[in-house]
């Protein structure tokens, strides 16, 4: 997916649900978190973790801090959840 197509989708989706679309930097950070979770935990955990990010940030948590905490958690979990 091109960056332009992704940006367009995010803008249209954000308008549809009445929120502000993430910036290019925020999209990159979220995609990095999803990658870390998918590889460190399990693929299905990636979208569910991003859902948790949305809940946390919607509840007032700092977006960057939330991503950092969950990224560290995913890195420590690498190989432990799927196998055990």
Provide the mean pLDDT of the chain: 91
> 3 in a domain, yes or no?
no
> 9 in a domain, yes or no?
no
Domain span holding position 67: 23-84
> 5 in a domain, yes or no?
no
> 57 in a domain, yes or no?
yes
- Tokens found for residue 9: 């989708």
> 54 in a domain, yes or no?
yes
> 15 in a domain, yes or no?
no
How much is the pTM? 0.85
Compute the residue count for the chain. 84
Whether 6 shows a pLDDT value over 70: the answer reads yes
Whether 78 shows a pLDDT value over 80: the answer reads no
Geometric angle at alpha carbon 54, from 83 and 6, rounded to 5°: 90
Find tokens 């649900």 and name the residue: 17
> 18 in a domain, yes or no?
no
Domains: count for the chain: 1
The secondary structure of 25-64 as a DSSP string is HHHHHHHHHHHHHHHHT-TTHHHHHHHHHHHHHHTT--HH
Distance between CA atoms of residues 10 and 22, nearest Å: 7
> 1 in a domain, yes or no?
no
């Amino acid at each position: 997916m091109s960056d332009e197509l992704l940006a367009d989708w995010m803008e249209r989706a954000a308008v549809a649900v009445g929120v502000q679309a993430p910036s290019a930097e925020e999209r990159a950070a979220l995609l990095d978190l999803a990658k870390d979770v998918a590889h460190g935990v399990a693929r299905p955990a990636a979208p569910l973790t991003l859902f948790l990010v949305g809940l946390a940030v919607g509840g007032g948590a700092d977006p960057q801090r939330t991503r950092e905490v969950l990224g560290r958690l995913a890195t420590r979990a690498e190989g432990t959840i799927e196998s055990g």
